Amino acid sequence: MIPCINKKIFGIECLGCGMQRATALLFSGQFEAAFKIYPAIYTIFLLLAVILFNFFVKFKFDYHLKIGLILLNALVMIISYFIKMSHFM
């Protein structure tokens, strides 16, 4: 796994810490463990699936859907980050 530069330099995890481990767990079938490590893993894969689908099939309101999913993903990442950081303090 690629180490987090932010954690190495500042000693604090970044918003993306845990994404690699969660992806590995997800592909190995450990869905609950992946969610516990990085809750935004499912919203990221949903966003990627919509973008990939939209690459081949154009549909109405695709831009609004992608923006909504990006905002949802950012919200999940930020909330889960603050929850994780509050447990370490």
Look at residues 41, 43, 4 and name the one whose alpha carbon lies nearest to residue 22.
41
Q: pLDDT tens, 29-45? A: 999 999 999 999 999 99
pLDDT for 72 beyond 70: yes
Dihedral sign for Cα 66, 70, 72, 76, please: positive
Terminal CA-to-CA distance of the chain, rounded, Å?
26
Q: Which pLDDT score, from 0 to 100, does residue 32 have?
A: 96
Q: pLDDT tens, 7-66? A: 899 988 888 889 999 999 999 999 999 999 999 999 999 999 999 999 999 989 999 999
Domain boundaries, the chain: 5-88
Look at residues 32, 77, 69 and name the one whose alpha carbon lies nearest to residue 49.
69
What is the distance between the alpha carbons of residues 75 and 11, in angstroms, rounded to a whole number?
23
pTM of the predicted protein model: 0.84
